[in-house]
Amino acid sequence: MRVNIGEIARRAGVARSTVSYALTGKRPVSEETRQRIQAVIEELNYRPNAAARALKEGRTRTIGLVIPPASQRLTDMQLGFVATVVDAAARADLDVLLSPSGGEHERSFERVVTGRRVDGVILMEIRLEDDRVTRLRQSGLPFVGIGRTSHPEDMTWVDVDYETLISQCVHHLADLGHRNIALVNRSAELVAAGYGPGHRAQAGFTRAVAQRDLHGVHACCADDAQAGLSCVERLLAEHPELTAIATINETAITGMYRALAQAGLAVPKDFSIAGVAAQHLAENLDPPLTSADVPTIELGARAVELLIQRIADPGSTHRHLLAAPPISLRGTTGPAKPRA
């Protein structure tokens, strides 16, 4: 079963190099021998050994995708990125090696980065200060971030412009007359760890609140429905003046809806809510969420594209893509109505 290029050459009565060239087309091979070789290859179902090829060529035709550890469930948006990255990579005949990073899986990341297992890396869930970025940088391995650090100039990335988007959400709510708005962020641990979207969303929120002279409340919330429920319960109790929420925590939204319903608040009649979410999720919520739909497909595909360019020319200048999709109105926001 272990058929190699030498065996093909022997059976076809040619040299190993001829088989190689017949395969890669990097030098002319007469039609006759080409066909003879092709016949043997198909008969034995031969395929070049990837490890040998990688060793010789110095490239693996594989990219690494570093994801948050699986233990904490991925968000819909993250899943969208994984799916489209895999898809775009397959389209370019690249394989994808998955590496859960963070927590207990440092070894996996280390293997990917330093074992020459991949030609480049796509890094998700980047912190403002991120050790992995430092590691990748010093390793010299080409990489692209889905997300960016606080010094984003000297790396290549695609990202969602949470700052602008949350700001737009607030302005949209303010236009509807809301004066007391809460931002429901991701988990406190994540924000404390310097999670970029969390900080940037907060910055955008603060800015817009100041611009419109509103009263803003900031709350962190873990990534699940239960947390969303208790977070909003608490917000409603502690801040009876609130009439709207802006959020980047898509996983907690169903819980927020539930808390509002339990408090007897109808959306959007009594309370408005807008956010940044994966389009698929926003559309499938009940009611569908007014949100800035993150174009995960485009971003994921672009990340792969940028990585391929970067692998081809590691010295090229860094490129960036900051996505700020428009807000899709789906009916979870309406005119402000003061609460009791």
Partner DNA sequence: TTGTATGCGTTATCAG
Partner DNA sequence: CTGATAACGCATACAA
| Binding residues for DNA (CB under 7 A) | 2, 4-6, 13-18, 20-21, 23-24, 26-30, 32-34, 46-49, 52-53, 55-58
Residue 13: DSSP 8-state = T
CB of 131 to DNA, least distance (A): 24
* 16, interface contact from a copy of itself, DNA, none, CB < 5-8 Å by kind: DNA
Provide the residue type at 292 as one letter: A
Backbone torsions φ then ψ of 161, nearest 5 degrees: -85, 75
* 33, interface contact from a copy of itself, DNA, none, CB < 5-8 Å by kind: DNA
| 225 touches a copy of itself (CB under 8 A) | yes
| 319 touches a copy of itself (CB under 8 A) | no
| Separation of alpha carbons 113 and 107, rounded Å | 10
Lay out the site mask for a copy of itself across 265-294 (x = CB under 8 A, - = otherwise).
---------------x--xxxx--------
294-to-87, 192, 257, 282, 326 alpha-carbon distances in Å: 18, 24, 21, 10, 9
Q: Which of 15, 39, 83, 192 binds a copy of itself (CB under 8 A)?
A: 83
Contacts by 81-85, CB closer than 8 A, 24 or more apart: 81/124, 81/146, 81/296, 81/299, 81/300, 81/303, 82/124, 82/300, 83/296, 83/300, 84/296, 84/297, 84/299, 84/300, 84/301, 85/122, 85/300, 85/301, 85/303, 85/304
Q: Tokens 């890094």 sit at which residue? A: 123
CB of 314 to a copy of itself, least distance (A): 11
CB of 321 to a copy of itself, least distance (A): 20
Find out whether the peptide bond into 268 is cis, omega within 30 degrees of 0: yes
| 84 touches a copy of itself (CB under 8 A) | yes
* 1, interface contact from DNA, a copy of itself, none, CB < 5-8 Å by kind: a copy of itself
* 108, interface contact from a copy of itself, DNA, none, CB < 5-8 Å by kind: a copy of itself
Does residue 149 contact residue 130 with C-beta atoms inside 8 Å?
yes
Tell me which residues touch a copy of itself (CB under 8 A). Answer: 1, 45, 47-52, 54-55, 60, 62, 65, 67, 69-71, 73-74, 79, 82-84, 86-87, 90-91, 93, 95-100, 104-105, 107-108, 110-112, 114-117, 139-140, 224-226, 254-255, 257-258, 280, 283-286
